[in-house]
Amino acid sequence: MIAKEGYPFIIAAALLFVVVLLIPKIILIMISLLLLAMMLWFFRDPERIAPDDDSAIISAADGKIVEISDATIGGKKYKKISVFMNLFSVHVNRAPYAGIISRVNHIEGSFLPADKQEASAENERNEIHIDTAKGKIIAVQVAGLVARRIVSYVEEGNGVSKGDRIGMIKFSSRVDHYLPANTEIEVKLDDKVRAGESIIARFV
């Protein structure tokens, strides 16, 4: 499956490939074919099966754990887990837990490298607040140095199941998970995780 946001890029790469086929230059044909393959790979959207475990909170993003810390938002304490997606990661984001979308808030900002801790507060980002039966979870899509387009699939009032697609970020980025204080973290720095499948924490 391919994420719908990728079709303009894939079509453009395919058209370029067709055009260079008319030019007897093998190098141009190879470059255009490589570009098409890269677009197909980047915008892939594989099916994922969320774990059937009511206590489990899953990763909203593919990538590497780059930050685990405590945070305070609106006077409430949260546990923060950040995942950095490189250019080779699947960039479709998924709901870490079932609930109701209570708020979607887009914030303009900078485009610092997404693996840096300061990117959470300074970069352009999209906050998705999910009210669950066990507490509020906030998934924040953060733009990066290359990523300049954040896409949200959900709106306020939508219900989501664990593992549902909630959006994507184009071309390398980061997702910050803000989890209730009554959770137990199940990952450590540099762990690799998969959106919609990997357990990053549990309600206790």
The Cα-based distances of 67 to 8, 80, 98, 174, 177 in angstroms read 33, 7, 24, 11, 10
Q: Pairing state of beta strands 92-94 and 150-152? A: unpaired
Task: Round to whole Å and give the CA distance between 102 and 34.
Answer: 42
Task: Round to whole Å and give the CA distance between 181 and 74.
Answer: 14
Which of 108, 169, 110 is closest to 145 using CA atoms?
110
Task: Round to whole Å and give the CA distance between 142 and 45.
Answer: 19
Task: Round to whole Å and give the CA distance between 203 and 182.
Answer: 6
The encoded tokens of residue 119 equal: 């990117």
- Examine the residue annotation and report whether 172 is marked as an active-site residue of this protein: no
Q: Which of 32, 172, 173, 198 is catalytic?
A: 173
Catalytic residues: 173
